[in-house]
Amino acid sequence: MRVLTDILEEGAAKFGDRTAIVFGEQSLTYRELLDAVLRLTARLQKLGLQPGDKIAFLDENSLEFPVVVFAAAMAGGVFVPVNFRFGADEIAYVVNDARPGLLLVSATYRPVADRARSDFADDVKVLDVPSVAALLAASDAPQPDRPTIEPDSPAMVMYTSGTTGFPKGALLSHGAYIANINAIAAAGELAADDRVMVSLPMFHNGGLIAVLMPTLSLGALAVIMPRGFEPDAVLAVVERHSISATMWVPTMLSMLVNSDAIGSRDVSSLKKIWYGSSPIAPGLLEQVRAAFDADLYQFYGMTETGMTSVLTPDDHRLHPQGTGRQMDPAELRLVDDNGDDAPVGEVGELLSRQTPLGMTGYLGNDDETGKTVVDGWIHTGDMARNLGDGYFVIVDRKKDMIISGAENIYPREIEIALAAHPDVAEVAVFGIPDAVYGEAVCAAVVPAQGAALQPDDLVAWSAARLASYKKPKRVLLLDELPKNAAGKVLKHALKAPFWRVEKRAI
């Protein structure tokens, strides 16, 4: 089994003069990428980086990002990406939790890193990351030491989305990442002649492990997009670089298909659209099909497991509202509260295992690791319905289930019903306190542009499609839903005002 640096070195050996990465007007061949990584590795070792040491990096998507990732791996270090959207307190939390010896930071984020520095528990070196241009222009090019890296060596501490509180650092090995990278490339039918857009942030699995690494592992072209997601700019890059494959989250897809630019750009080169991170509304799926002549692939996974299932283009026709079925090397189970397999048609918690196992554990958090990894199975906390023949559909997070009276209510079912309303752009359903039933259903809705939507309209719409106990008791009309960097709705932020008053929380 390979390790992460093998992707880099095999690429340089096989495809040396082929362009590996484009970022704006800058580009690197596979050979230049390796050269930049070797030079940065030597500099990091000169600063004292030893095998097993952690090195954190704070930056948005950039040409430097993959160079730092590979340099950390080549030195035998453990890479810790930091969310560039974090404020000083959040940066300090991650640094104090991961305890890296070195924090590299781009010039853009140096001010916030300096503000966070006073709260660092340890004496962490905070240094500016050298530009790729400066690395390659330097007259000296010392060769770095090359420690032995094994597949079970730790590769990264990737922090979870933190949708319910402080993020946890999931420690994953080189072998776990390589297995997932290979699986994604195969399931997504990626090829060496693909031209792949990387628009998801690379401090998360989505941008780094699910898109960039599979692209480089095949010798394909990665076109990295900068921070922000502007539909016209994105579609212009698709046209300019003849992008053939990409991964977007449903929010991005909605922005694209509702943009005026969608009809003015040539997007005929785009043949593979991967999506994931959050459920997609049936209406949006049809809009995407109408706007792009592309095959659709839905991936499901989490920070702790990597991608573990796929809904292929053929599967979209068989199970249009499904999430997918397991993809090698992952093995998935749906279990009830007793740990027994959930029968077809029933809901159970989704468990995942594979060899090598996704995460080794949560960094410095044995209690949470013990709750999550049981007998070799990672408990995802996602509830899914068994559709038969290995297919499943996520119905909700286990913690988001609403218990109203004696009924278990899965918000996702209500969200699907409300999302079908023509005047609804986005919706999130959650539980709020109820004096009689314990919890009641509340829906936060973003109306479609120009729609004159009223709460009573949505209650009536729900009543015609759902059991009476599932219809919302309250509807909030909002300009936007709170989301994290991965595009996932922060339901705890929606719930918090209601449960603060109640002084209790589910």
- The string of pLDDT tens digits covering residues 379-435 is 999 999 999 999 999 888 888 888 887 678 888 889 988 998 999 999 999 999 887
User: What's the CA gap between 323 and 279, in Å, rounded?
Assistant: 8
User: What's the CA gap between 232 and 241, in Å, rounded?
Assistant: 14
User: CATH number of the domain that 490 lies in?
Assistant: 3.30.300.30
Residue 437 lies in a domain: yes
In order, the DSSP letters of 441-482 are EEEEEEEPTT----HHHHHHHHHTTS-GGGS-SEEEE-S---
Residue 183 lies in a domain: no
Give the number of domains in the chain: 1
Sign of CA dihedral 280, 274, 278, 225: negative
Torsion of CA 238, 160, 393, 412, to 10 degrees: -100
Residue 415 lies in a domain: yes
Residue 271 lies in a domain: no
Of all residues in the chain, what percent are helix, strand and coil, respectively (each to 5)?
35, 30, 35
Residue 402 lies in a domain: no
Residue 442 lies in a domain: yes
Residue 441 lies in a domain: yes
Contacts of residue 110, Cβ cutoff 8 Å, sequence gap at least 6: 128
**Which element (helix H / strand E) includes 44?**
helix 30-46
Nearest to 135 by CA among 189, 68, 185: 68
User: What's the CA gap between 347 and 357, in Å, rounded?
Assistant: 24
Q: What is the pLDDT of residue 504?
A: 37
CA distances from 187 to 181, 272, 297, 355 (A): 10, 11, 9, 17
Contacts of residue 252, Cβ cutoff 8 Å, sequence gap at least 6: 199, 229, 234, 487
Taking each helix axis from N to C end, the angle separating 282-291 and 411-419, rounded to the nearest 10 degrees, works out to 50
> Among all chains, which residue has been given the structure tokens 């590299």?
104
Nearest to 229 by CA among 209, 249, 208: 249
Which DSSP letter does residue 143 get? Answer: P
User: What's the CA gap between 462 and 442, in Å, rounded?
Assistant: 12
| Structural domain boundaries, residue 442 | 407-502
Taking each helix axis from N to C end, the angle separating 4-15 and 64-74, rounded to the nearest 10 degrees, works out to 110
Residue 147 lies in a domain: no
pTM reported for the whole predicted model = 0.86
Q: Which residues of the chain have pLDDT under 50?
A: 502-506
